[in-house]
Structure 1
Amino acid sequence: MTVLNNLKLVVSKRHQTVSPIVHRRNKLVAKLHEQIELCEAQQAGKTYAPTRLKTFTNKQTGERMTVEATKRVKEWFWIGDNGKINLAIKYGAKTLSLSAKGANAIELKDGAELIATLKELKIATANGELDDAITKVSNATRQAFGK
């Protein structure tokens, strides 16, 4: 007991969860960061291949193994008919509606503007500016599971 007497003991409670809005916001910020890394790698002429740990069971031995596998990152941008870059913001498999008129893509002139726009969107998402659009898409996805 002499060790415990030398330590400063307090009563504390750890917060278990964050609010659903903050959790969704953080998920989108992480995906925007992946898109920024992908664009910067493409601009530098490199490939962006993040890795993740994948666990599987060996069928012959029954042993569980963990292997590092490359994660596939889909591009959120494409070149439109007019030769300009279009950027859609995705939450899961759904595209966010960016305005009340139903616009779902941002038109950009080049790769540098694409990277700058993604960085601005990352900051805007962290500040909560896209919370309504994220909530709308999240609720639609949740209702689709209820059918």
Structure 2
Amino acid sequence: MSALKGLNFAAYTRPDRLSAEVQRRNKLIAHLQEQLEMVRAEVEGKAYTVNKRKWLRNEDGTKVSVEVGKRLKAWYSTQPNGTVLLTVRYGSKPIEFEKGKAAIVVKSRDDLLVLIPKLIAAVEAGEFDGYINSIAKQRLVGKKAA
């Protein structure tokens, strides 16, 4: 007990949690940064991979933690005329910026390297909150009905 006598003790207070709005922004920012890295790698002619940890059972039945590749889906596609369409997604749903318009048109993949950081800054500033909240509300309504 002599080791505990020289210590100072205090009451533990749990750190404040982030609001749901900030958590949603952070989620979208993380996915936009993944898309930016995918574009950078593609422009440089490299492959971009992300690993995640997964628990699997081996031959003798014990659980082991294994690193596996995360499946990434590009949010951008090249059109026949050479332009590139970028859809920003929250979850599996594309964000509709205007009625029936969920894609941003740019001239080339190189332009995505300029556009995506602007979108990240817009998310940080809260400009996407209305879009994100409407998609999140749709998901909540669907879960309550099920």
TM-score (norm 2): 0.89
Superposed displacement of residue 4, structure 1: 4.8
2:9 is the counterpart of 1:31: no
Does structure 1 conserve the Cα–Cα contact (< 8 Å) formed by 2:87 and 2:95? Answer: yes
Q: Secondary structure at the match of 1:46?
A: coil
Give the superposition deviation at 1:146: 2.4
Residue 125 of structure 1 corresponds to which residue in structure 2? Answer: 123
CA distance, structure 1, for counterparts of residue 102 and residue 79 of structure 2: 13
Q: In 1, distance between residues paired with 2:130 and 2:65? A: 38
Q: 1:103 aligns to what? A: 101
CA RMSD after TM alignment: 1.8
State whether residues 82 and 108 of structure 2, in contact with CA within 8 Å, keep that contact through their aligned partners in structure 1: no
Partner residue, 1:115: 113
Alpha-carbon distance in 2 for matches of 1:132, 1:2: 58
**What is the CA–CA distance in structure 1 between the aligned matches of 2:125 and 2:141, rounded to whole Å?**
27
Matched residue count: 145
Note closer, same or farther for the CA distance 1:16–1:55 as it changes in structure 2 (3 Å cut): farther
Alignment partner of 1:18 is 2:18: yes
| Superposition pairs of residues 1-147 of structure 1, within 5 angstroms | 3-4=3-4, 6-15=6-15, 17-58=17-58, 60-99=59-98, 101-147=99-145
Q: Deviations over 1:2-45 (max 9, x none)?
A: 65554443334122532111111111010001000000000000
> Quick check: 2:52–2:68 contact (8 Å CA) kept in 1?
yes
Alpha-carbon offset, residue 49 of structure 1? 0.6
Query: How does the TM-score come out when normalised to structure 1?
Result: 0.88
- Tell me the distance in 2 between the aligned counterparts of 1:3 and 1:120: 54
Distance 1:56 1:36 in 2: 31
Instruction: Compute the displacement of 1:54 (Å).
Output: 1.0
Aligned amino acid, residue 23 of structure 1: Q
| Unmatched runs of 5 consecutive residues or more in structure 2 | none
Q: 1:123 Cα deviation (Å)?
A: 1.4
Following the alignment from structure 2 to structure 1, what is the Cα–Cα distance between the partners of residues 35 and 20? 23
Give ranges in structure 1 of 5+ residues lacking alignment. none
Q: Indicate the percent of aligned positions where both proteins have the same amino acid.
A: 32
